[in-house]
Amino acid sequence: MEEADRIREILDYYRGQRDRSEQSTAVEMLRELQEVRGFLTPELKKAAAETAGVSEKLIDILVRRYPTLRESAIEHEILACTGERCGNRQGAELLGALRKEFGIGKDGLSSDGRVLLRTRCCLKRCRTAVNMDIDGTAYRGLTPESGLKLVKEICGKRKA
């Protein structure tokens, strides 16, 4: 069954429930929707709110309250240094290569939503520039080529 059909089936089921606006029912619907896509997109949350007959704000509160409900599929977080020394040693070129390879937008998310790229003015490891943290592990002395290769190995090539 296609993803869209599964989502429609879940929404149709809950639309017919008398207790659809109760918190426990809404949470169960959100969990089922999340199983289909892996996370709750803004569109899914809006559809869930309409189906349950509640506000989108309530759905947002439920998502924040229940740690098992996720709004994104972020699997890896990259923190790249944009300080002067890293910049002088091709740090900007590395950032550009990562953005291009993973389709990273202005929000820092890759096109498939699995990788979050954040920047910090300085990671305070200037002697070993270019510096980057991937999932909390520090990597030093990177070039655009070695940094891109490392990120591909850890995060995998983008899916989208």
Cα 50 from Cα 157, distance rounded (Å): 36
DSSP 116: E
Measuring CA to CA, which residue among 67, 53, 3 is closest to residue 23? 53
Report the run of H or E that residue 45 belongs to, with start and end.
helix 42-52
Cα 35 from Cα 29, distance rounded (Å): 10
Region of 42 please: left (phi>0), alpha (psi -120 to 50) or beta. alpha
Q: Where are the domains of the chain?
A: 3-65, 76-155
Q: Compute mean pLDDT per 10 residues along the chain, 160 residues long, and list them.
A: 92 95 96 91 94 96 90 88 96 96 90 90 96 96 97 75
Q: What fold characterizes domain 76-155?
A: Glutaredoxin (3.40.30)
Instruction: Quote the pTM value.
Output: 0.61
Report the run of H or E that residue 52 belongs to, with start and end.
helix 42-52
One-letter amino acid identity for 127? R
- Per-residue pLDDT at 159: 45
Exposed/middle/buried for 135, CB within 10 Å: 0-12, 13-18, 19+?
Answer: exposed
